Amino acid sequence: MLKGEEKMVLELKDVTKRFGNFTAVDQLSLSIPDQEMFGFLGANGAGKTTAFRMILGLLSPSSGSITWNGKNIDYSTSPLIGYLPEERGLYPKLKVRDQMVYLARLRGMPKKETLKELDYWLSRFKVPEYVDKKVEELSKGNQQKIQFIAAIIHKPKLLILDEPFSGLDPVNVEQLKKAVIDLKDNGTTIVFSSHRMEHVEEMCEHLCILHKGKPIVQGILKDIKRSYGKKNLVIHADFDLEELKNFSGVTNAKTTPEGISLQIKDEEVSSHILKSIVDKGFISKFVLEEPSLNDIFIEKVGASYE
Amino acid sequence: MSRFWIILFHTYVSKLKTKSFIITTLVTAIILIGLTNMTNIIDYFNKGNGEEKVAVIDETGELFPLFEARLKTVNEELVIEKFNGSEIEAEDQVESEKFQGLLILDYNESMLPIATYKSLSVADFAIPGDLQATLQQVKSQFAASQLQLTTEQLEKLSEPASFERIALKDNAKTQEELSEARGLVYVILFVIYFAVIMYANMIAMEVATEKSSRVMEILISSVSPIKQMYGKILGIGLLSLTQMAILLITGSFFVK
């Protein structure tokens, strides 16, 4: 494996995929650095899964190139790649153990090691008793855990997770998130897609928002937020705040049960607002917040719906 | 180990362990054992039936000994018993299943033997068939003596013409060999027919499960479809060889 200055970078250059007249992915260029977590965001049908399939080599791009560490991805690299497909699926009639051993061996992991890893992961997810159960006997959420283990059991260098947290309860989401972060800390490059903004916000440094196949926002999370400029101002007070909706510099406003939530052009506006209300009465909360990814996403993607 | 072999053995071993495979193999083996031991089984069940008895009312008073002697040459196991009571009494006995049937022997106008057979149903063909054949012989004998033919003349008349087929080619098969070969062809034809349907179906089912359970997406990202296909086909092929071997071994063991 290459180490040091030559980092393993997953690079997509002007990747386009067309299905007939329909362009699923349009001129997508990305560079995903080694040992990073990269988030793919996008509305339903934005082209996330298609992009993943191209990265895996299941689909070939209509134009453009995808390289990992300067090489094409094909079946010779598959032991280094883990994939959690969006359409979950395992052999329904096969016991978890046999299933794992088979799938891991196909990715080049010997049986003994697989069993050791399987023990570790099953006890980590607090389901060690499932090892002898058939997959069809498990609940959907538990099947998903097994599926996740199947994607990571061979210790991949590049892990592709398509909607890893959909259909899980909050406790399991936390468990899975922790597992993903641990994998990242152990040196796995992780690419994952979600339509849950908070997951991406929490976990990814790099992200890309796809809309109708085109990347509309892309880069490091902090930069994206900073360049977005707008901030959220949350005010809770005892008196009426409705008039603030017409304050200059306020772009959007929402009344909440305890007060008001304003979207403002920049930080300066907040000080003007504070000055104007400070004498009016008791203010229990006055917070200037970074915009959430949710706001950015809705503005960027939602705008083109209108 | 290459991924091809992993797929091959996975297909082989997982199919080998399925209930359906074990059950079909067992059932077929049992049927095979049954077929090879068919004669023993039939004998076993025939023993329990006891002997079949037919009551005979001889209206002529002289046909019975002759008929009984002739019957011995047709069917040794069939027993006839002279019944001395009336016809109605005899019918009652048949109805209470003490006798299989009732045969009434008589002469017709030209003094040739005729017979009436009464039984619970006319569906039984074996006993009346034997009785009819016997009566035919007795009748021929009577007719011959009426025509004043000697036994020799009678034999000459009833003797079937000899007809034999001989193949001139040196390596030509004899009649017996031919029918053996014909039987074998039928057996092999059936075996091939079932094998093609069963094993091809197994492969198709395997692919269908992978498709419908969507394991395919994981598989296809780690192994090329061509390798998967051949791994499956040959894995099932190996399975079929195993099944055939089991059946052949049981078959040959019991034939001995």
Contact check, Cβ <8 Å, A107/B6 = no
Cβ neighbours of A144 in B, within 8 Å = none
> Who among B215, B222, B224 is closest to A90 (CB)?
B215
Contact check, Cβ <8 Å, B223/A102 = no
Q: Per residue in A175-208, pLDDT tens?
A: 889 999 999 898 899 998 887 788 888 888 888 8
How many angstroms separate the CA of residue B18 from the nearest CA in chain A? 10
Residue of A nearest to B4 (CA): A106
Contacts 24+ apart (CB under 8 A), B224-229: B224/A75, B227/B3, B227/B4, B227/B7, B228/B7
Q: Per residue in A231-279, pLDDT tens?
A: 788 888 888 777 778 787 788 888 888 888 888 877 788 888 888 888 8
Residue of A50, A73, A75, A97 for testing the chain B interface, max B β-carbons within 10 Å: A75
**Angle in degrees, 0-180, between the axes of helices B175-212 and B3-16, rounded to the nearest 10:** 110
- Characterize A17-44 residue by residue with b for buried, 16 or more Cβ atoms within 10 angstroms of its Cβ, and e for exposed: beeeeebbbbebebebebebbbbbbbbe
> Who among B1, B213, B222 is closest to A92 (CB)?
B213
**A21 vs B123: which has the higher pLDDT:** A21
On the question of pLDDT at B235 being above 90, the answer is yes
Q: Is-contact A192 A52, C-beta < 8 A?
A: no
Q: HSE-up of B17 (CA within 13 Å, CB side)?
A: 9
Cβ neighbours of B213 in A, within 8 Å = 89-92
pLDDT at B27: 94
> Who among B14, B218, B222 is closest to A94 (CB)?
B14
How many angstroms separate the CA of residue A67 from the nearest CA in chain B? 16
pLDDT at A4: 42
Contact check, Cβ <8 Å, A57/B221 = yes
Backbone angles phi, psi at A167, to 5 degrees: 80, 15
Q: Is-contact A228 A219, C-beta < 8 A?
A: no
pLDDT at A5: 43
- Characterize A189-212 residue by residue with b for buried, 16 or more Cβ atoms within 10 angstroms of its Cβ, and e for exposed: bbbbbbbebebbbebbebbbbbbb
Q: Per residue in A107-160, pLDDT tens?
A: 888 999 999 999 999 999 988 899 999 988 988 888 888 999 999 998 898 999
Query: What average pLDDT does range B53-67 have in this prediction?
Result: 84
Q: Is-contact B213 A91, C-beta < 8 A?
A: yes
How many angstroms separate the CA of residue B244 from the nearest CA in chain A? 25
The Cβ of residue B78 has, within 10 Å, a number of other Cβ atoms equal to 18
Residue of B212, B217, B219, B220 for testing the chain A interface, max A β-carbons within 10 Å: B217
How many angstroms separate the CA of residue A59 from the nearest CA in chain B? 10
Q: Kindly tell me the burial class for residue A236, based on how many C-beta atoms sit within 10 Å of its own C-beta (0-12, 13-18, 19 or more).
A: middle
**Angle in degrees, 0-180, between the axes of helices B175-212 and B225-255, rounded to the nearest 10:** 140
pLDDT grade for B9, boundaries at 50, 70 and 90: very high
Q: Is the ipTM of this complex over 0.90?
A: no
On the question of pLDDT at B51 being above 80, the answer is no
A290 and chain B in contact, CB less than 8 A: no
pLDDT at A78: 84
List of residues 6+ apart from B186 with CB closer than 8 A: none
B47 and chain A in contact, CB less than 8 A: no
pLDDT at B233: 92
A102 and chain B in contact, CB less than 8 A: yes
pLDDT at A2: 43
Query: In a 3-state reduction of DSSP, which class is residue A103?
Result: helix
- Characterize A263-281 residue by residue with b for buried, 16 or more Cβ atoms within 10 angstroms of its Cβ, and e for exposed: bbeeeebbeebeeebeeee
Query: Amino acid identity of A293?
Result: L
pLDDT grade for A8, boundaries at 50, 70 and 90: low
Backbone angles phi, psi at A17, to 5 degrees: -130, 125
How many angstroms separate the CA of residue B193 from the nearest CA in chain A? 28
Q: Per residue in A53-67, pLDDT tens?
A: 888 888 888 988 888
Give all strands (DSSP E) within A120-277, no chain letters. Answer: 158-162, 189-194, 206-211, 214-220, 231-237, 250-256, 259-264
pLDDT at A165: 86
How many angstroms separate the CA of residue A228 from the nearest CA in chain B? 38
A259-264 and B79-82 as β-strands: parallel, antiparallel, unpaired?
A: unpaired
Cβ neighbours of B7 in A, within 8 Å = 106
pLDDT grade for A3, boundaries at 50, 70 and 90: very low
Q: Among A147-151, A302-306, B149-153, B161-165, where is mean pLDDT lowest?
A: A302-306
Residue of B15, B219, B222, B226 for testing the chain A interface, max A β-carbons within 10 Å: B222
On the question of pLDDT at B48 being above 70, the answer is no
pTM over 0.80: no
B7 and chain A in contact, CB less than 8 A: yes
Q: How much is the mean pLDDT over chain A? A: 84
Maximal C-alpha separation, chain B: 98
Q: Note the residue count of chain B.
A: 256
Query: How far apart are the C-alpha atoms of B91 and B111, rounded to whole Å?
Result: 26
